[in-house]
């Protein structure tokens, strides 16, 4: 009987349809610098995906990494060129689902280094690294913008051919589903920091963390 099996399915904190998401893990690196706590950020190398953007260390979760903290630590070590022994995992902060179908686990780490000279970042992935005081984000709010997302059921390719992704007419669905639909707006946060702008998903993660942190101060 189905009802007898429900105890194995209910209240397991399961994410419906989790197999469709791109699974990634990032670290919020904390470092002591000039007598106070800083966040460390990366500027991605121009040649890679989302090149030139500011990000946190991280990447796609490997199938053999049973815990996303392993991904966050591995990626931080590889991208910053520091040993895993110098990366102290403080805990998982939470998870974020992006508007573009990525599920990102967020972890907090402390970099156990004395100065920035110990970082030998991977130039194939990272153009530069920089830090900003945690205090700055506590004292300054980001600018808030919005972008609209729509579901596009069909489009024309570069040769003018119609590519039908979702054949709504075939299933006799309402006409509106044969055309772009949806008016969802997603928030875009921007911190006008130097030497680089912190924005997008990175800003969203930092903003949420700071808001939670403020409640403890």
pLDDT score of 146: 96
Helix (H) or strand (E) holding 11, with range, is: none
Q: What is the mean pLDDT of the segment spanning 179-191?
A: 91
Q: What is the pLDDT of residue 63?
A: 77
Tell me which long-range contacts 195-200 makes (C-beta under 8 A, separation of at least 24): 195/130, 196/41, 196/43, 196/54, 196/130, 197/54, 198/41, 198/54, 198/132, 199/54, 199/142, 200/53
63 against 127, higher pLDDT:
127
Q: Is residue 41 part of a domain?
A: yes
- What confidence category does residue 154 fall into, taking pLDDT thresholds of 50, 70 and 90? very high
Asked if the structure places residue 158 within a domain, the reply is no
Q: Is 154 within the bounds of a domain?
A: no
Confidence at 54, pLDDT banded by 50, 70, 90 = very high
Judged against a pLDDT cut of 90, whether residue 101 lies above it is answered with no
Residues 208 and 48: their CA atoms lie apart, in Å, by: 27
Half-sphere exposure of 141 (CA within 13 A, CB side): 3
Closest CA to 71 of 79, 81, 85, 61: 61
Domain harbouring 83, CATH code: 3.90.79.10
pLDDT score of 215: 86
Q: How many angstroms from the chain centroid is the CA of residue 50?
A: 12
d(CA 203, CA 96): 12
- Full domain range(s) for residue 48: 15-147+182-214
Q: Is residue 100 part of a domain?
A: yes
- Express each pLDDT in 64-92 by its tens digit: 778 899 999 999 999 999 999 999 999 99
Q: What are the backbone angles phi and psi of residue 140, rounded to the nearest 5°?
A: -130, 130
Looking at per-residue confidence, does 57 or 12 come out higher?
Answer: 57
Residue 7 lies in a domain: no
Non-local (6+) Cβ contacts of 69 within 8 A are 25, 89, 92, 105, 107
203 pLDDT band (50/70/90 cuts)? very high
Q: How many domains does the chain have?
A: 1
17 pLDDT higher than 90: no
- Kindly state whether residue 130 falls inside one of the protein's structural domains: yes
One-letter-per-residue 3-state SS of 14-81: CCCCHHHCEEEEEEEEEEEECCEEEEEEEEECCCCCCCCCEECCEEECCCCCCCHHHHHHHHHHHHHC
Above 80 in pLDDT, residue 11?
no
pLDDT of residue 195 exceeding 80: yes
* Percentage of the residues of the chain whose pLDDT score is greater than 70: 100
The answer to whether position 76 is within a domain reads yes
Q: Please give the structure tokens belonging to residue 209.
A: 């963390």
C-alpha span between 158 and 156 (Å, rounded): 7
Distance CA 179, CA 153 (A): 6
Residue 165 lies in a domain: no
What pTM value is reported for the model? 0.89
Note the pLDDT of residue 202.
97
Per-residue pLDDT tens over the stretch 19-33: 888 999 999 999 999
What's the pLDDT at 142?
Answer: 98
The stretch 31-45 carries a mean pLDDT of 95
Q: What is the pLDDT of residue 216?
A: 86
Cα(108)–Cα(46) distance, integer angstroms: 26
Position 112 scores a pLDDT of 96
């Amino acid at each position: 009987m189905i009802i007898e099996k429900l105890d194995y399915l209910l209240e397991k904190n399961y994410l419906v349809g989790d197999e469709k998401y791109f699974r990634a893990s990032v670290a919020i690196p904390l470092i002591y610098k000039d007598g106070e706590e800083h966040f460390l950020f990366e500027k991605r190398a121009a040649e890679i995906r989302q090149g030139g953007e500011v990000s946190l260390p991280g990447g796609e979760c490997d199938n053999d990494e049973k815990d996303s903290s392993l991904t966050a630590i591995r990626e931080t070590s590889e991208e910053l060129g520091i040993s895993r022994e110098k990366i102290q995992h403080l805990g998982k902060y939470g998870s974020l689902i992006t508007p573009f179908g990525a599920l990102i686990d967020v972890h907090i780490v402390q970099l156990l280094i004395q100065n920035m000279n110990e970082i030998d970042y991977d130039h194939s992935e990272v153009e530069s690294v920089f830090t900003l005081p945690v205090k700055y984000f506590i004292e300054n709010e980001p600018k808030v913008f919005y972008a609209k997302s729509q579901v596009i059921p069909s489009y024309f390719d570069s040769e003018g051919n119609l590519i039908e992704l979702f054949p709504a007419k075939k299933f006799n669905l309402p006409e509106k589903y044969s055309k772009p639909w949806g008016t969802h707006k997603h928030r875009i946060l921007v911190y006008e920091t130097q030497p680089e702008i912190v924005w997008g998903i990175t800003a969203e993660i930092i903003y949420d963390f700071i808001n939670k942190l403020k409640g403890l101060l």
